[in-house]
Amino acid sequence: MDVLSDVVAVMRTGEPRSARVEWYGPWGQRFLPAPGGGFQVILQGSCWLIPRESEPVALGVGDVVFMPRGHDHALADHPSTPLAEAACDPQDGTWREQRHATASVGRPPDGTGPATVTGPATVTLCGAYQLDPSRAHPLLRDVPDVLHLPARLGRHPEIRAAVELLGGELERPRLGADTVVPALLDMLLLFILRAWFDQPPAGEQGPAHGWAAALGDRAVSAALDAVHRAPDAPWTVESLAARGGLSRAAFAKRFAATVGRPPLGYLTWWRMTTAARLLRETDSPLSSVAERVGYGSEFAFANAFKREYGLAPGRYRRGGAGRRD
């Protein structure tokens, strides 16, 4: 797998939740913190995003907001509108029973109302991903707590296509929706992260260092791709440097500066992260797990794993995952 696909696969747990929500004004709602990531997309009308610790942001049709760490936030028709508390939060118990839903807020249950109300003032698409913070990859640490991707003509066509398909599936559920919707949500998450890590035109919001710089650096990116596609290969600093066409010293310096770990330090960390996933999600014997992450000796693998997780692989698999001695 490539780097970004691996990152999402490691962190994702359970099934994502989503909803298409029609808002009838005046309206305002606060979404509670959640153990994962969430997004809001404006399908119709306009509104304001009100983060807990920053200034309100005006949102229009096509705008996407992503909260990778599930920070609480609010949406409202105006910053001064009183906020209701989490009436349709995709993380609460009701929504867990109905994984992908549609809802109306601010409208009487029987559908009646003032004669002037002919339709929703705003329609949003919201969703939540379960992302385990104990499995956090450093790549996601560079993404801001609130990532706003404003709609721009010709920009992010993949996001627009995924949003259109997802909104249609939620508005008009059909056979196969229980498979289609989660797949579209995973696609949308990857497209949002792609949009952030792609270098934007000068003057627009975007990353300039850290993992964004690593993925934008051809030599470092080539080495990362090699490690993620074949963690079991006998990589050395020299062989990884050759992937990017650099000398050993130049490559090691550039890799450590952008990734935050030396090349072989990252290789070991990723091997152990991959091993932990295999221990959690498969019944493969320890010898097989060791071989798949580049260890010919089960004993050497167990020692390396315990140094990283504080637990022997067998104990980790039996229920110690997430604990450290």
pLDDT in tens, 140-164: 877 888 999 998 877 889 999 999 9
Please name which of 141, 150, 132 lies closest in space to residue 57, comparing C-alpha atoms: 150
Q: Do the strands 122-131 and 12-23 form a parallel or antiparallel pair, or are they unpaired?
A: antiparallel
- Helix and strand numbers (H, E) in the chain are 13, 11
3-state secondary structure of 280: helix
3-state secondary structure of 182: helix
Buried b (16+ CB within 10 A) or exposed e, 63-75: bbbbbbbbbbbbb
Whether the CB-CB separation of 88 and 95 falls below 8 Å is answered with yes
Domains and CATH numbers, the chain: 3-197 (2.60.120.280), 217-320 (1.10.10.60)
pLDDT in tens, 200-252: 544 444 444 578 788 888 999 999 999 999 999 999 999 999 998 999 999 99
**109: pLDDT strictly greater than 70:** no
Give the pTM: 0.77
- Please count the other Cβ atoms lying within 10 Å of the Cβ belonging to residue 93: 7
| Residue that wins the pLDDT comparison between 214 and 119 | 214
pLDDT in tens, 39-66: 999 999 999 999 887 899 999 999 999 9
- Tell the residue number behind the tokens 């698409």, with chain if given: 125
What is the per-residue DSSP string for 204-232?
Answer: SS---STHHHHHHSHHHHHHHHHHHH-TT
The reported pLDDT for the residue numbered 219 is 94
3-state secondary structure of 120: coil
